[in-house]
Amino acid sequence: MTATRPTRVERDSMGPMEVPADAYYGASTQRAVLNFPISGQRFPRRLIRALGLIKWAAAKVNMELGLLDPSIGNAIVQAAWEVAEGRWDDQFVVDIFQTGSGTSTNMNANEVIANRAGEILGLPRGSRKVHPNDHVNLGQSSNDVIPTAIHLSAIMVIKEDLIPALEGLHQTLLAKSQEFWPIIKTGRTHLQDATPIRLGQEFLGYAGQVERGIRRLHYALEELAEVALGGTAVGTGVNTHPQFAPKVCTLLSQVIGHPIRETDNHFQAQATLDNVAAAGGALRTVALSLHKIANDIRWLGSGPRAGLGELLLPEVQPGSSIMPGKGNPVIAESLIQLCGQVLANDTALVMADLGSYFELNLMMPLAARNLLESASLLAAAARNFDRQCVQGLKATTRGPEMVEKGLMLTTALAPVIGYDKAAEIAKEAARTGRTIREVARERTTLTEQELNAILDPEKMTEPGLGAGPVSG
């Protein structure tokens, strides 16, 4: 027979409710636990940290404004800081799929902080001498706290995790670009042979994608820096001091190291998730860039004998349970799959923004889950791809060996002998298996010296007309 867990009785506006005796949360949180036995998923650490920081700063500002008794306020400050630092994460027990405003999680934070603050003051849990609404939630509403927490937590993940991971990958790609710069190979468009390109130029393109992704993330940080705090229920700011939000934003800016500002239009800030959707768009574009880079590297390493075989990827594990000695591009595949998840999350973010009705968005928990997961996944995968794949890439001789056989060397002949005649040479070379140089010797009056100058692959990797028109 299973032992019954000890309980205590707490109260909220709906009346008494039994909660676990050792819990810091109270009646409202317990009702939410019973109401939403959905996924078992909880809000991530960064969002709980953001909630703790908001409550910490709110108590400080409310004391400064003379709205909160210092004895209660200082206890709230200590308790809220403990929440921000992760001491009470196990007390945040409400499912992600809950009330659309996130009220249940805001009350979860209010109750944990209130009971912990009461304990600091020597009071038993459930005493409500430190009140979750009257004291911890003073000057706030779930409707402005939760969107603010989403913005703050996303800023922390993007700034502390994702941007540094991408900066590391960017530097590695630049280093590989320099390493591979002397290697000239056949370019590809439409999966068909094109004019020569440096392997280093391809990697310079990858580095440029990541660099621009970082730039877009800085735009996303600016979107997220505008917060809804101060609007309370519907954006009017009822029941809050006019100086509350700007003062709280100042404290939050200091503690997270990024400037946070109260929105100048609360009605849009609480009625929509447009800022979150915009930030999600930056994450989506990063995912698209990483997908392209990982897929290219996977293809360039295909083979080793029946594929392109221009790159050697680090072997990190056996590739097959049946084929001995096989190696697979597993790190690239991991990243590609993750990018698919980020794109799915972005679709959920768009749907969450569509949940904006009149004065409130009602899909905030869904938005928080997907925005934070995407940023965290991209950070982890970019770091892993950098360390376990890109840093260990090596070029083979396959690319340079195929350049002389490339049919698109005729591109350099076109300005000299004309497009149509160059096309005939390319078709004959393809039909006979000979090189462009060999056919051009027969079908033009160009000297060997002129052909060497015109069909120089290195010149074809630079802007300009190459050798330019010559006589003959």
The residues that are catalytic are 190, 320
Token pair of 453 as six digits: 């100058």
Residues 6+ apart with CB under 8 A from 460: 195, 196, 409, 411, 412, 466
Cα–chain center distance at 434: 49
Give the span between the Cα atoms of 31 and 17, in whole angstroms.
8
Phi, psi of 383 (to 5 degrees): -65, -45
Q: Which residues pair with 12 in a beta bridge?
A: 15
CA distance 392 to 315: 9
Q: Which two tokens stand for residue 440?
A: 């051009």
State the SS3 of the chain.
CCCCCCEEEEEECCEEEEEECCCCCCHHHHHHHHHCCCCCCCCCHHHHHHHHHHHHHHHHHHHHCCCCCHHHHHHHHHHHHHHHCCCCHHHCCCCCCCCCCCHHHHHHHHHHHHHHHHHHCCCCCCCCCCCHHHHHCCCCCHHHHHHHHHHHHHHHHHHHHHHHHHHHHHHHHHHHHHHHCCCEEEEEECCEEEEEEEHHHHHHHHHHHHHHHHHHHHHHHHHHHEECCCCCCCCCCCCCCCCHHHHHHHHHHHHHCCCCEECCCHHHHHHCCHHHHHHHHHHHHHHHHHHHHHHHHHHHCCCCCCCCCCEECCCCCCCCCCCCCCCCCHHHHHHHHHHHHHHHHHHHHHHHHHCEECCEECCHHHHHHHHHHHHHHHHHHHHHHHHHCHHHCEECCHHHHHHCCCHHHHHHHHHHHCHHHHHHHHHHHHHHCCCHHHHHHHHCCCCHHHHHHHCCCCHHHCCCCCCCCCCC
